[in-house]
């Protein structure tokens, strides 16, 4: 399961830096105009409220950004519920205000608070300011000012709230998929082109959970919300657990993205299986700005005996740059170049050049997506060592392949 699954559902909204900067400006302006000591915005989270931004005159440290305080202990809940007015020039004159511990512990002599209402009708939290001493001169014009700026803050926060809501929905869908058993692993045979003998399998993730979509979409969404590495390594662990049935010396090819290589505990996830039989397939579809962190991450894995493959070579971006920088043990020709290669001279020329490069660099070349005998024979004649595709075996349970 997701490492932080028990926390994200009650996590505060992630406020973007430029919005936070604007909030700070508004707090400072309102606090100064109303001659208050402290101004803040808080978000309601279950039975608590979290302070996103706090501005004070410097003499008050009772409240700080990121503080979490029970809703029951402050004014905010009472103001939103209508039990307390939004403007209180003198808290000592209201029995309910006198009964709230913060009135004396902070202390609070004057208080003004308005709810931050989102476009869907929900209350995000409150925009508040207070003075340690009563402020008898506060009136409706001051409250109108606070309400106006409260609306400005609601508009500024709305996009972050929408993004956060979408993120939580994505995390929920991913968590639900994992709880239902996803990702499930299937295995596609990799065969010698000389005699069609089985030399290994590529481990592929599949998802049955709703909404139905390709594995690429599931992993892309997981990376977008910060759990892509966890999902990839869960798939890797499941794959290698199943590969205990794979007889020596057949290899297991595991797909791992550059981002996961750099940020996640890959070595730990791949432990327990013969490293000399693991091939790490690094996808070529994602542009890489700096290879040094990837090479650093791969070095200890290679030292254990694991091999590295550049996946989908020729599909886009910088195939040759990846190959020259990472010096892979295996280069996999993308299926877009395999398709119809038997009667496409351009595809044939590009594949031949890659095969010759691999021969000189002493690298194994694997053709993906072989579907016809003509494609198979053309690739074999061009010097490709290995291949996979529907002609050589569809993705299936490992037991079916071994049978």
Write out 102-157 in H/E/C secondary structure: HHHHCCCCEEEEEEEECCCCCEEEEEEEEECCCCCCCCHHHHHHHHHHHHHHHHHH
Say what the pTM is: 0.79
Three-class SS state of 199: strand
Q: Which residue ranges form the domains of the chain, and what is each CATH number? A: 5-170 (3.30.450.40), 180-402 (3.20.20.450)
Indicate whether 315 pLDDT > 80: no
Q: pLDDT tens across 174-187, in order?
A: 999 999 999 999 99
| 223: its two tokens | 């990376």
Residue from 25, 22, 32, 26 nearest 57 by CA: 32
Q: How many residues would you count in the chain? A: 403
Q: pLDDT tens across 106-131, in order?
A: 899 999 999 999 888 889 999 999 99
Three-class SS state of 230: helix
Q: What does the pLDDT read at residue 285?
A: 60
What is the rounded average pLDDT for all residues in the chain? 91
Q: pLDDT tens across 59-104, in order?
A: 666 788 888 888 888 898 999 999 999 999 999 999 999 999 889 9
DSSP characters over 62-73: S--TT-EEEGGG
What span, in angstroms and rounded, lies between the C-alpha atoms of 129 and 39?
A: 4
Residue from 282, 288, 238 nearest 256 by CA: 282
Task: Determine whether 123 is exposed, middle or buried from the number of CB atoms within 10 Å of its CB (0-12, 13-18, 19+).
Answer: middle
Q: What does the pLDDT read at residue 218?
A: 96
Indicate whether 8 pLDDT > 50: no
Indicate whether 286 pLDDT > 70: no
Indicate whether 7 pLDDT > 70: no
Confidence of residue 284 (pLDDT cuts 50, 70, 90): low
Task: Determine whether 279 is exposed, middle or buried from the number of CB atoms within 10 Å of its CB (0-12, 13-18, 19+).
Answer: buried
Average pLDDT over residues 159-175: 89
Lowest-confidence region among 70-84, 171-185, 239-253, 307-321 = 307-321
Residue 26 · residue 33 · CB < 8 Å: no
Segment (H or E) for 47? none
Indicate whether 144 pLDDT > 80: yes
Segment (H or E) for 372? none
Q: What does the pLDDT read at residue 383?
A: 93
Average pLDDT over residues 359-368: 94
């Amino acid at each position: 399961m997701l490492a932080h699954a028990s926390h994200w559902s009650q996590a505060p909204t992630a406020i973007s830096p430029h919005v936070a900067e604007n909030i700070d400006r508004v707090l400072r302006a309102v606090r100064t105009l109303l001659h208050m000591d402290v101004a803040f915005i808080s978000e309601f989270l279950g039975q608590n409220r979290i302070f996103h931004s706090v501005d004070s005159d410097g003499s008050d440290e009772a409240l700080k950004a990121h503080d979490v305080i029970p809703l029951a202990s402050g004014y905010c809940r009472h103001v939103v519920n209508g039990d307390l007015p939004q403007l209180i020039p003198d808290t000592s004159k209201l029995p309910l205000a006198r009964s709230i511990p913060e009135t004396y512990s902070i202390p609070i002599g004057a208080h003004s608070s308005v709810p931050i209402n989102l476009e869907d009708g929900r209350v995000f939290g409150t925009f508040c300011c207070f003075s340690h001493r009563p402020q008898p001169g506060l009136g409706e014009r001051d409250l109108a000012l606070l309400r106006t700026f409260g609306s400005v803050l609601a508009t500024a926060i709305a996009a972050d709230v929408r993004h956060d809501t979408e993120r939580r929905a994505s995390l929920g869908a991913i968590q639900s998929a994992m709880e239902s058993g996803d990702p499930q692993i299937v295995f596609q045979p990799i065969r010698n082109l000389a005699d069609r003998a089985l030399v290994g399998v590529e481990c592929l993730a599949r998802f049955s959970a709703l909404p139905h979509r390709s594995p690429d979409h599931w992993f892309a969404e997981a990376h977008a919300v910060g759990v892509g590495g966890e999902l990839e390594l869960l798939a890797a662990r499941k794959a290698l657990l199943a590969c205990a049935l794979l007889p020596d010396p057949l290899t297991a090819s595991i797909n791992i993205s550059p981002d996961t290589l750099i940020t996640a505990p890959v070595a730990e996830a791949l432990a327990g299986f013969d490293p000399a039989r693991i091939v790490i397939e690094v996808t070529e579809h994602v542009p890489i700005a700096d290879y040094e962190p990837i090479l650093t991450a791969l070095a200890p894995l290679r030292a254990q005996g694991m091999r590295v493959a550049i996946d989908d070579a020729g599909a886009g971006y910088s195939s040759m740059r990846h190959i020259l920088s990472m010096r892979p043990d295996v280069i996999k020709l993308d299926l877009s170049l395999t398709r119809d290669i038997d009667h496409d001279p351009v595809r044939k020329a590009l594949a031949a050049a890659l095969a010759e490069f691999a021969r000189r660099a002493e690298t194994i070349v694997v053709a993906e997506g072989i579907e016809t005998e003509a494609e198979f024979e053309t690739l074999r004649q061009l010097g490709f060592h290995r291949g996979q595709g529907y002609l050589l075996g569809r993705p299936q349970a490992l037991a079916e392949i071994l049978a």
